Amino acid sequence: MNMQEISDTIEELENGPTTFDSCIKLSALYNVRDNLHSDTQKELEDVLPQFRMYVAVKAKYQLGELHEEDLKFAMRSMCRDIEEFLETLYNNTELQGERDIIHKMLSDLLESL
C-alpha cells in the first residue's frame, strides 16, 4: 500500500459513515501514515550525529590519540546509519521512478569508487 492509497482510503473513511469498523480502519491507517514519515525522519536524524562522531574520532586518530580499530568502528557505525536511512527511504517510496533514482544513485556511486 503506498502513501496515495493510504491517503485516499483515509479520506474515503473520513467522509463515510462513522462505524466501529471504520474507526478501527482509520486508526490503523493513521498509524501507518504517521509511522512512515517518522521512521524516515528518525533515520535521517541518526546520520548527522554519527557523522560528527566519525569526524571527531578521525581527528583523534590523526593526532595519534586513537587506534585504527576505533576509526574503523566509527566508520562502520556511520555506514550502518546511512544504510538504515537509505533502506527506510527506499521502503517509503511510492513510485517505481523514485526507486529507479535511488538505484541509479547507488550504481553511480559504485562506479565512481
d(Cα 28, Cα 10) in Å, to the nearest integer?
A: 10
Q: 546520520: which residue's cell?
A: 47
Q: Return the domain boundaries, the chain.
A: 3-112
- Looking at 19-67, list the stretches that DSSP marks H as alpha helix, in order from N- to C-terminal side: 20-62
CA distances (Å), origin 104, targets 25, 83, 99, 107, 111: 37, 16, 9, 5, 10
Pairwise CA distance, residues 26 & 10, whole Å: 6
Q: pLDDT tens, position by position, for the chain (113 residues)?
A: 567 787 888 888 889 888 888 888 878 887 777 776 667 777 778 888 999 999 999 999 999 999 999 999 999 999 999 999 899 888 888 789 999 999 999 999 999 99
